[in-house]
Amino acid sequence: MRQRGLGNSSSQIQRKLQERHTEVWLQKTVQYLTDCKGIASAVTCSLILPVTFESAPSMPSVPKQRWLMQVYAQDVLQRLDEIKATITSQYASEGFGLGPMIEGLIKRYRVAGVAPPEVLYVDRDCCGNTLLRRMFEEWEQMIIRLDVWHFMRRFAVGCTTDSHQLYATLMSRLSHCIFMWDQVDLTALKKAKHAELEANWKPTSEADVLRCISRNELALHCRRTTRGTKETLALIESHIQAFDGDAGRDTMGVPLINSARMREILKSQRKHVACIQDPVGVQLYMQTGTVVKGGHRLPTYRCARGSTSLESFHLHLNRFIPGTLASDTFFQAYLLDGLARWNEDRAVAATTDEQQPHSYNHLLRHAVNTLAEEVMGKKIIPYVGPRKYTGELIGVEYLYQQTGKVLQDYKLAIEESETTEVGIEVDESYAELEEFQDITVPTFDTERTPVASSQASVSAASSPTPPVTSSISSLSVVPPSPVTSPVTSSISSLSVVPP
């Protein structure tokens, strides 16, 4: 039950245990009866009187789902201080509700002696002397940028419906109006894809190669940069005009764009085109490794631009809480344990490619390292040592602090659950959630280069230090290069990278 995900709620675990225990019991019963049969045959052959056998032992009952939930909650309770110490983010509403959370984040950077983030990506309040800017007044050098995904979604409101036949084409080409690919990376990917297709005896024309390059391959192997305010604005206006009126009608004659509404959107969003441009001098890509494709070795990149990683994390966040029913106490237990494990996994993935011991027990790992240093003079498990809980509110605690409600004591909640159905969930779902699709990455099968597009290439050098993204209610922070051990932690609409 510690491993968060769909299909591992207490009810599902109980059913799996029931099935597995039944199979083992049946196997042992078959073994027992087979031995009895052999003995009976031997007795019969030796003309000895028939022998009787005792019945096979009945199968012990498997604990109910409520008992499993109680054990899990007690396990979390015993590690509560340790779990809270590893979590450095908070659940928060937007506006003034973010104040305490932002104060805690700034304090954490200050105490750790780490330079403030260089860029903060937001879904609104990107320009001017906004409330958000005043909240971060201590980080006066930090640049605030508007997330491109949210910027594009504003233009989607100007469409009559997202089920229109030309809607996907409009959004894909809108992304091309904002970004341009690094020509060196793109050329290398084309060559690798061409060789891969040739190896499989497939057609290898230029159009076939572009059509076979997926959105994920583009995002993984190619860097992008924004085109600049003037060019971007010109391309967006030209692009919208190309799909407006009769040119944007489908086979049923339905127009794609609501002309009056789109004009108002374009008028209000002109000033924000400058807010989506990449900050000068800030490294947004890091090379994470290389892969071989079609005999060519291609670099793989991770991008820290925008809040796409936060939007994707929302899908995983749902999986921390299995089922559809849970009390606030057990919801908090699921949340804390899931976040602590998520942080641990992201830290390992961001700092090393080596295989690590798969354990989340910090105290046990610390004990192993302590003994190893005394006996062998060195640590044998990568581990930074026990951490100290900052006292900040987390998850449901933060929500209740804003509403004046008090989270029930864990021990009392467990005692109540022994006699009631508190915190018991039912999870009948086996279907995986659809992964978050980044509409800012176009595909070549729907993309056509606008007439006024720039042919300039981007030469963004990869940084040896991984850029770290931190987001607060769809805000995303890119800290400077001195931060070398990024750990992403999120609760609800919140993602924070500790110093």
Q: How far apart are CA 393 and CA 399, in angstroms?
A: 9
Phi, psi for 326 (deg, rounded to 5)? -160, 140
Q: How far apart are CA 492 and CA 405, in angstroms?
A: 19
Task: Give the C-alpha distances (Å, rounded to integers) separating 389 from 61, 82, 319, 368, 369.
Answer: 41, 8, 25, 22, 21
Task: Give the pairing type, strands 471-472 and 476-478.
Answer: unpaired
**Shortest CA distance to 408 belongs to which of 422, 419, 420, 421?**
422
Task: Tell me if residue 473 falls in helix, strand or coil.
Answer: coil
497 or 278, which is more confident: 278
In sequence order, the 6+-apart residues with CB closer than 8 A to the CB of 442 are 172, 173, 175, 176, 215, 218
Query: Mean of the pLDDT values across residues 49-55?
Result: 76
331 or 314, which is more confident: 331
Determine contact, residues 140/238, Cβ cutoff 8 Å: no
Task: Give the pairing type, strands 285-293 and 224-226.
Answer: unpaired
pLDDT exceeds 50 at position 443:
yes
Query: Mean of the pLDDT values across residues 108-113?
Result: 86
How many beta carbons lie within 10 A of that of residue 149, not counting itself?
Answer: 23
pLDDT exceeds 80 at position 364:
no
As a whole-number percent, the residues of the chain with pLDDT over 70 amount to: 72
pTM value is 0.61
Q: How far apart are CA 100 and CA 135, in angstroms?
A: 10
- What pLDDT is attached to residue 428? 40
103 or 50, which is more confident: 103
Query: Mean of the pLDDT values across residues 342-349?
Result: 76
Query: Mean of the pLDDT values across residues 80-99?
Result: 61
**pLDDT confidence bin for 273, thresholds 50/70/90:** very high
Alpha helix (H) ranges present in 47-123? 65-78, 80-86, 99-112
**Shortest CA distance to 486 belongs to which of 354, 360, 342, 358?**
342
- What pLDDT is attached to residue 425? 46
pLDDT exceeds 50 at position 85:
yes
Q: How far apart are CA 482 and CA 374, in angstroms?
A: 32
**pLDDT confidence bin for 93, thresholds 50/70/90:** very low
Query: Mean of the pLDDT values across residues 238-249?
Result: 93
The first and second tokens of residue 431, run together, are 């279907």
Side-chain-side CA neighbours of residue 471 (13 Å): 30
- What pLDDT is attached to residue 7? 58
Determine contact, residues 454/180, Cβ cutoff 8 Å: yes
Task: Tell me if residue 194 falls in helix, strand or coil.
Answer: helix
**Shortest CA distance to 319 belongs to which of 1, 2, 4, 3?**
4
**pLDDT confidence bin for 422, thresholds 50/70/90:** very low
**pLDDT confidence bin for 88, thresholds 50/70/90:** low
Residue type, 233: L
Q: How far apart are CA 366 and CA 24, in angstroms?
A: 37
Residue type, 225: T
Phi, psi for 22 (deg, rounded to 5)? -65, -40
Residue type, 156: A
Burial class (CB in 10 A: 0-12, 13-18, 19+), 163: exposed
pLDDT exceeds 80 at position 235:
yes
- What pLDDT is attached to residue 95? 54
Interhelix angle 99-112/396-403, rounded to 10 degrees, is 130
Side-chain-side CA neighbours of residue 114 (13 Å): 22
Segment among 103-107, 172-176, 305-309, 346-350 with least mean pLDDT: 346-350
Segment among 164-168, 223-227, 389-393 with least mean pLDDT: 389-393
**pLDDT confidence bin for 66, thresholds 50/70/90:** confident
- What pLDDT is attached to residue 227? 94
**Shortest CA distance to 493 belongs to which of 5, 91, 84, 4?**
91
The gap between the terminal CA atoms of the chain, to the nearest Å, is 30
Residue tagged 């001098």 (tokens)? 281
pLDDT exceeds 80 at position 130:
yes
Phi, psi for 370 (deg, rounded to 5)? -60, -45
Segment among 208-212, 401-405, 460-464 with least mean pLDDT: 460-464
Phi, psi for 304 (deg, rounded to 5)? -105, 10
- What pLDDT is attached to residue 354? 58
Burial class (CB in 10 A: 0-12, 13-18, 19+), 342: buried
Task: Tell me if residue 397 falls in helix, strand or coil.
Answer: helix
- What pLDDT is attached to residue 183? 94
Cα dihedral 203/204/208/214 (nearest 10): 110
- What pLDDT is attached to residue 39? 82
- What pLDDT is attached to residue 466? 38
**pLDDT confidence bin for 11, thresholds 50/70/90:** confident
Residue tagged 């190309």 (tokens)? 242
Alpha helix (H) ranges present in 87-143? 99-112, 131-135
150 or 408, which is more confident: 150
- What pLDDT is attached to residue 46? 63
pLDDT exceeds 50 at position 91:
no
- What pLDDT is attached to residue 241? 94
The first and second tokens of residue 398, run together, are 């933060």
Name the range with the highest mean pLDDT among 347-351, 447-451, 485-489, 491-495.
347-351
Q: What is the DSSP letter of 276?
A: G
- What pLDDT is attached to residue 275? 94
Residue type, 261: R
